[in-house]
Chains A and B, each alone.
Chain A
Amino acid sequence: MSPDRSRAEGTAAATPAAVRERLDRVTDPELDTSIVELDYIEDIRITADADADGDAVFVAFTLPTAWCSPAFAWMMAGDARDAVASLPGVAEVTVELREHMHEREINRGINEGLPFGEAFPDADGDVAPVRAELDRKARIARQHDATGALLDAGLTHDQIADLAVEAVRVDEATDGTVPVWLRDGAVAVAVDAEPLVRYREKAAATGLLDDEHPELFRTPEGDPFDGEAFELVRRRTRLAGVNMGGQGTVCDALNDARHADDRPPLSTFSD
């Protein structure tokens, strides 16, 4: 099936909207917010190629500071490429990070599929531990929203602290709520689904769903806690969320400054 025909049939080939939808799944790992929502995407171009087995998609994006951590930029560029490549009918994806101190290394590395260490021979270490740490923080911040939803639904501190992974049935969501089973499965309470689903996603990414503890919620260090410690843990999870939003605020203002009409050119340095 050629891409042209599939587009004519309205099925597989890429549209800008479909590309954006995939990119929307990519987060700025430090902010735990979609790169589409953050307005990082500058350009999406789709070229249909009848000879190839699918479309070629080009995505350009810019980050709030030229000094934005290369590891974060690398993650976003790589995730964007993977997300778009997963679209049916896409054969080739090129991402272009713009106006970044390391755009050359990152663009070459991501588009040629190099490992981070090869694109940045000077870097000490890989991006994996950086990603793990950011996932850990996102998990903590999301716990605040999830436990807030459970408090709203009337659960006690002890009940939330003791809640087992399998008591929260995210796969049985209806009308925006999920059943949460209490008292050894004697009663189910309907709880707002989104914060629980989002929390589980990061709990899974940080390995908490299949470790030696049955409890769904943990301290920032990953340990179970009891009802008495609930308040302190909840304050720490609040703090993680405030921190994340704070960084978002800074990035947002930098982004505005960077794109102001009267902004001088980025660099005038020459040897």
Chain B
Amino acid sequence: MYVTDEGEELFVIDSHLHLWDASEENVTHEGGEQFIQCFYDYHTGFTPEEKQWSLEEYRKYGADRMAQDLFGNAAVDMGIFQPTYLSDFYADGFNTIEDNAELAERYPERFVLNGRFDPRDGEAGMRELERQKEEYEIQGVKLYTAEWNGDSKGWRLDSQESFEFLEKCSELGIENIHPHKGPTIRPLNRDAFDVADVDDAATSFPELNFVVEHVGLPRLDDFCWIAAQEPNVYGGLAVAAPLAVHRPRKFGEIMGELLFWLGEDRLLFGSDYALWNPDWLVETFMDAELTDEQKDEYGVEFGVDTKRKILGENAAELYDIDIEAKKEEFRSDPLTQEFGLADHYAGGTSATPADD
């Protein structure tokens, strides 16, 4: 939890986590090597110098290190795993549900484990989605529309095949759809991260929530306009949040736009770990402010109440997490015992803070 100087607690759900393996042994295609190196550019470009990892530790960090990074200084209370397969690049996949399960199953009360589908996998993909639901009780899927698959270099969320899978999600009660719509990491000229295909999918499946990861960057304009019209479209702040490190003014502008077009109830914090590390990013996010000029221009607030929603409450709403019950549970769960966090969760014994 983040605790303000006034002693106010903010429960943190990091909505975008990975446990990946880009070790050289796992890379089977030039694209896999380029991919991790591109990630590393993002890491070093937006991480304070003293917090940067070496490329070697970045390739494969393992479950123990990840638990330490998330919970060691209690930056995060819970996390949501978002898999990224890239099976054409990595022998055992880059960041699969099985990779993620290694940590999620160690501390089940701390994690939400999402699955994925690829409509190009057809009937086999449909069975795999059912298996993920059955085995891991997934409530959400991460979708990577720019992924290579054989001869195909991408797919669309509004295609007929995709709709069949979304239909299946609806049927299985997988309500949270997280399409990755972020900065370019794909070769050739088809814009497979273009956010436009979210529009039709969101309209066609009003019972599902579409959390657009990376808020459509570099197409923030298209994303905001779609989200302004589709109430079931949300924004995941992974990639956007680290801009606060070196580019606070630009971060303020982007937050201003997001709060103006979507409002404070439809934005979710995410570190994108291990792209960035919540052990410093949560604090950076909390310290970030809009300038007076930006507050005037956008007519929005970015204070503690807004941040509390973005850091945890909005994700809790989507994933049926009872924050107060969790805080109670975390006073003595295995992770708290392992990391010595009992004192951290002992404060604020009453569920409602006293009025000033």
Where the two chains meet, the residues of A that have a C-beta atom closer than 8 Å to any C-beta of B are: 30, 65-71, 74, 101-102, 116, 120, 122-125, 127, 130, 137, 140, 220, 235-236, 238-240, 242-243, 245-247, 249-250, 253-254, 256-258, 260, 263-264, 266-269
- Chain B residues, CB < 8 A from A127: 189
- Chain A residues, CB < 8 A from B225: 220, 236, 239
Residue contact B38 to A243, C-beta cutoff 8 Å = no
A243 in contact with B189 given A101-B34, A249-B247, A253-B246 (CB within 8 Å): no
Q: List, sorted by A's number, 5 A–B pairs whose CB atoms are closer than 8 Å.
A: A70-B187, A245-B253, A254-B41, A254-B45, A256-B45
- Chain A residues, CB < 8 A from B204: none
Residue contact A65 to B261, C-beta cutoff 8 Å = no
- Provide the bound-state CA to CA distance between A232 and B103, in Å: 47
Residue contact B184 to A65, C-beta cutoff 8 Å = yes
Residue contact B224 to A239, C-beta cutoff 8 Å = yes
**Interface secondary structure of B, over-half rule:** helix
Residue contact B41 to A257, C-beta cutoff 8 Å = yes
A243 in contact with B221 given A71-B189, A253-B246, A269-B32 (CB within 8 Å): yes
A67 in contact with B34 given A242-B253, A253-B46 (CB within 8 Å): yes
Q: Which listed residue, A65, A71, A140, A263, touches B38 by the CB 8 Å rule? A: A65
Using a Cβ–Cβ cut-off of 8 Å, how many residues does chain B contribute to the interface with A? 45
- Chain B residues, CB < 8 A from A68: 184
Q: Which listed residue, B40, B153, B246, touches A122 by the CB 8 Å rule? A: B153
Apart from A239-B257, A257-B44: 7 A-B pairs, beta carbons within 8 A: A69-B189, A238-B257, A240-B221, A243-B218, A243-B220, A247-B218, A267-B37
A66 in contact with B188 given A236-B225, A245-B253 (CB within 8 Å): no
- Chain A residues, CB < 8 A from B35: 67
Residue contact A70 to B34, C-beta cutoff 8 Å = no
- Provide the bound-state CA to CA distance between A125 and B188, in Å: 10
- Provide the bound-state CA to CA distance between A239 and B221, in Å: 6
- Chain B residues, CB < 8 A from A125: 189-190
Residue contact A122 to B188, C-beta cutoff 8 Å = yes
- Provide the bound-state CA to CA distance between A212 and B42, in Å: 45
Residue contact B37 to A66, C-beta cutoff 8 Å = yes
Residue contact A267 to B33, C-beta cutoff 8 Å = yes
Q: Which listed residue, A67, A130, A242, A267, touches B187 by the CB 8 Å rule? A: A67
What is the minimal beta-carbon distance from B143 to any residue of chain A, in angstroms?
19
- Chain B residues, CB < 8 A from A30: 218
Residue contact A70 to B224, C-beta cutoff 8 Å = no
Q: 1/0 per residue B162-173: CB within 8 Å of A?
A: 000000000000
What is the minimal beta-carbon distance from B165 to any residue of chain A, in angstroms?
22
Residue contact A243 to B219, C-beta cutoff 8 Å = yes
- Provide the bound-state CA to CA distance between A264 and B58, in Å: 12
What is the minimal beta-carbon distance from A262 to any residue of chain B, in angstroms?
9
Check: B254 CB closer than 8 A to any chain A CB. Answer: yes
Q: 1/0 per residue B202-240: CB within 8 Å of A?
A: 000000000000000111110011000000000000010
